[in-house]
Structure 1
């Protein structure tokens, strides 16, 4: 919402006409191709009326109070997407920029036994699971078990949006045991198939579907989970291995922080090493090249914007550093097997019962 018009100062009062859509935006951070100039942003129909400055300040104070209540004292919003006796799906929007880890918490749920899967749609954060640190972004998710100890930090300053799936072991126990990574390695590589299944699940839940279809879509999502990458043994000292992992996590945080138009040379300068060393270490730790990883981030950022209603591929190509619209379409198809228009149709707010 703008409190002014170009060339003409304007003050306004707003009141919410639609509930349940409070969104916080980071200060001076780029989101969906536009610069946010800070503060609280409300999504949904709003009514503006001309009033005095005192009423504007009072109104902003009320909005801040609503957000504090919604976030429970912290910069996080939880939005339930689906709930059942053995399955909970929650969307989490977090605007934390705290670089140090928050106090750890134990994974627990309303069910007697639960496996928790966390998949990121945009942004990224650092997770410490039972002492193991892993940067998590749209290319990497992770799985938690009941009793795991987890803490989070946010080296990137962008807002992150994630989906948390709590899977009851009474129904999903066998599936989790067969398809999800072992407890000692909680990392889930997010392939194009898993990412698309995740985004389609969120879109369908928002549109409103029954428990039967939710369960079927979740089972389909679980079948797309790939085998985690295991870095090759190099004979290097443990301290060197840890230093390389920290370098990779730092690099991923810098890319998430944006812009994704950054050059390899500039990326090397930001993380403090040569482009050659950075490329070699990144490939060794992750099993993929920096270019492929960056393209995955760009493709998934485009998918997130398409799901949000953005339709101009030319604008998205410029925003995320593609040479032109044809280049965006070509890279998008290479990574997803689909053209952007097809994925946009898949992620539109459709009715229940559509093909999974």
Structure 2
């Protein structure tokens, strides 16, 4: 079930909070976009297919929709909550002159812009406070790589997530099989066991919850040659290694493990062991697929958790550093400032409005 709550609407834009409580692995009926749009995930994850390409969407990967795009969705991990922004053609044209990539890496600066935008939406000042934060958010999301800051990994990540014409053969089926499934190139009927540390649902989950995503055999109505579907899985076993995995599938598995705070995500070597690949392959795949290093991605997820706590007014920065696995408060401060451009104390003031 999907529920959309309007946060603000003007002729130039509309903003909705979209909550989904679906729990199905099959693709939805096609939905055709009528306006330019940007979708950012607050909680949960789901899959989107457009132009024959499937993408795992979560708080670190959002997407852009254009008029005429035919979209399909699947929700193998339960519920999710997103911010959906629709823009008029005139506003869109004024903000970007190029056709942007369909998927975008949500770095910590974009995460912060999203949070400040949501705070402005609660202010009641739609025409100034919200409008200014909207422009800042969209400009940050649609920035061209050459305009990003020097030395920023995210400048290269607009992203390499399976764009049409660049995805390797079988990528669509492999991703649709699910974020943590095995490649669609395995032989028919193969039983495949895999690790599924899925993100928790808004209703019942909590950070670090691991759930097995189990799919029944396809029905006669949905099965067929090339049908995207997940085969049965079992919880928390290592992925089977029959057949090569594409970078897209491997990176999706790593992303899910890191976001679910799986114990093996504490380091490159245990994570590679969990995913049954060499550390070198995992590290290289991440850089090729997302345009950033695995280290930076893991820190980006930890910074997001720090922002959650700071948004709630967390007073104990030393305790926050320890909870998130940083060496000390100074390590937390350096990492947060590198990703967001502000110290944790400054971010707490920005996000809470405290003096």
Normalising TM by the smaller chain, what interval? Answer: 0.5 to 0.7
Compared CA separation, residues 102 and 310, structure 1 to 2 (3 A): farther
Task: Please state if 1:167 is matched with 2:67.
Answer: no
1:321 aligns with 2:246: no
Where do residues 111-130 of structure 1 align in structure 2 (5 Å cutoff)?
113-130=34-51
> Structure 2 length as normaliser, TM-score?
0.65
Normalising by structure 1, we get a TM-score of 0.65
Distance 2:29 2:95 in 1: 24
Assess if the C-alpha contact under 8 Å between 1:104 and 1:149 holds in 2. no
Q: Is the 8 A contact 1:122 1:304 kept in 2?
A: no
Shift of residue 179, structure 1, vs aligned partner: 6.2
1:103 aligns with 2:28: yes
What SS class does the counterpart of residue 135 from structure 1 fall into? strand
Name the residue aligned to 2:5: 79
Name the residue aligned to 1:264.
268
Deviation at 1:97, TM superposition (A): 5.0
- The answer on whether the counterparts of 1:115 and 1:168 sit within 8 Å (CA) in structure 2 is yes
Task: Work out whether 1:222 is the aligned partner of 2:138.
Answer: yes
CA deviations on 1:272-322 (whole Å, 9 max, x unpaired) are 322221111111222211111111111122112322343333343233222
8 Å contact 2:50–2:69 — kept in the other structure?
A: yes
Q: Which has the larger radius of gyration?
A: 1
Q: After superposition, what is the alpha-carbon deviation per residue over 1:31-70, rounded to whole angstroms, capped at 9, x for unaligned? A: xxxxxxxxxxxxxxxxxxxxxxxxxxxxxxxxxxxxxxxx
Q: Is the 8 A contact 2:44 2:81 kept in 1?
A: yes
Whether the aligned pair in 2 keeps the contact of 1:102 and 1:152 (CA below 8 Å) is: yes
Cα distance in 1 between the residues matched to 2:128 and 2:98 = 21
Seen in structure 2, the aligned counterparts of structure 1 residues 78 and 262 have a Cα distance that, compared at 3 Å, is: farther
Task: Choose between structure 1 and 2: higher strand proportion.
Answer: 1
Q: Deviations over 1:208-253 (max 9, x none)?
A: 213233223222222223332458xxxx993487711111122212
1:160 CA displacement: 3.9
| 5+ residue gaps, structure 1 | 1-73, 351-356
State how far apart, in whole Å, the 2-side matches of 1:319 and 1:155 are: 29
Give the structure 2 partner of residue 140 of structure 1. Answer: 61
- Distance change (3 Å), C-alpha of 1:281 and 1:210: closer
Q: Whole-Å Cα distance in 2 between the matches of residues 103 and 174 of structure 1?
A: 30
Is 2:339 aligned against 1:335? yes
Please point out which of 108, 111, 114 is paired with 1:192.
108
Aligned pairs for 1:271-310 (under 5 A) are: 271-310=275-314
Q: Is the 8 A contact 1:135 1:252 kept in 2?
A: no
Q: Is the 8 A contact 2:159 2:289 kept in 1?
A: no
Give the aligned partner of residue 117 of structure 2. Answer: 201
Unpaired runs of 5+ in structure 2? 145-157, 175-245
Deviation of 1:202 after TM superposition, in Å, equals 0.5
Q: Select the residue among 167, 178, 181 that pairs with 2:97.
A: 178
Shift in CA distance, 237/295, structure 1 to aligned 2, threshold 3 Å: closer
Distance 2:23 2:325 in 1: 25
Closer, same or farther: CA 296–155 of 1 in aligned 2, 3 Å: farther
Give, in angstroms, the shift of residue 331 of structure 1: 0.8
Q: How many residues align?
A: 265
Specify the alignment match of 2:168 in structure 1. 238
Name the counterpart of 2:192. none
Asked if 1 retains the 8 angstrom alpha-carbon contact of 2:116 and 2:351, the reply is yes
Matched position secondary structure for 1:331: helix
1:248 maps to what in 2? 251
Secondary structure at the counterpart of residue 207 of structure 1: coil
Change (3 A) 1:195 1:88: same
Give the whole-Å Cα distance in 2 for the aligned partners of 1:297 and 1:259: 13
What's the C-alpha RMSD, in Å, of the aligned pairs? 3.1
